[in-house]
Amino acid sequence: MTSGLKHLPGYFDRAAQEELVALLREALAKAPLYTPVMPKSGRPLTVRMSNLGSLGWVSDRGGYRYQPTHPETGQPWPAIPGPVMAVWRKVAQYPHEPEACLVNYYREGAKLGLHRDEDEEDFAAPVVSVSLGDTAIFRIGGLERQGKTETLKLSSGDVLVLGGPSRLRYHGIDRVLSGTSTLLKDGGRLNLTLRRVTKP
C-alpha cells in the first residue's frame, strides 16, 4: 500500500450509511447536483457534483477553484453534516476542521481520470473520502502522471485517507461496478471528499 494512504473498509455500517444518505438528500435538495465542465474544452464531466461546507470546489470554463456559493443557485453551500465531520476528527490527524466536502455522484459509465487535488493551500491536511453505494475501482499512482499505478476496490461504507506522502499522488476512479450495493434507491455511487482549503 502506498505510504500515507489509509483504507478503512466498512467504517460505516449499513445503518450509519442509511443515515448519511438521508442527510445528503436533505442537503442536496438545497444544493442540487449539477454537471461541471472542463475549463479549456467545456466538455462535461461524467460525474455530477455538489458541495457542502463553507467552500465548494467547482470546475467550469473559468478554471478550477473554491467558492462559497453554488454555481447555479447562487446560494451558500449547506453545512457539512455532523457524522461526516466526525469522520474527519477521528481519522484526519490534522488539528483544523475541513472547509469543503465535495459530493460526487457516479452513475453507470461515470469515471474520473487521474488527477491530483492541488487547489488547496495546505497540503499538510489530508483528503478524506467516504464511499456510499456501488463499489468503485480506485486507481492511485505516483507524483507524476505517467508513474506506476495500483488499484483498490472502494465499497459502500469505506473511508479512504490520502495524507502524508500520498497527499499529492495522482488518483482517479476507473469505473463503478453497477448493482454491487442496494444502498441508493436509483443505484450508482456517492463519494464525499473532505478537504481543508485555506491555511489556518
Classify residue 196: in a domain, yes or no.
no
Mean per-residue pLDDT, 83-89: 97
In a domain, 85, yes or no: yes
Q: Is residue 129 one of the residues assigned to a domain?
A: no
The 10s digit of each residue's pLDDT in 98-144 is 999 999 999 988 888 888 888 899 899 999 999 999 999 999 888 88
The reply to whether 93 falls in a domain is yes
The CATH number covering residue 43 comes to 2.60.120.590
Percentage of the chain surpassing pLDDT 90? Answer: 72
What does the block give as the cell for 199?
A: 491555511
State the total domains in the chain.
1
Q: Could you tell me if residue 9 is inside a domain?
A: no
What's the whole-number mean pLDDT along residues 26-36?
Answer: 96
Residue type, 91: V
Residue 179 lies in a domain: no
Strands (E), 9-126: 48-52, 56-60, 63-67, 100-106, 112-115
Sequence-separated (6 or more) residues with CB below 8 Å from residue 45 = 35, 36, 37, 38, 59, 112
Residue 128 lies in a domain: no
Answer yes or no: is pLDDT of 87 > 80.
yes
Please name the residue ranges forming H helices in 43-91. Answer: 82-91
Q: pTM of the entire structure?
A: 0.92
Instruction: Name the more confident of 33 and 113.
Output: 33
Domain containing residue 31 = 19-60+67-109
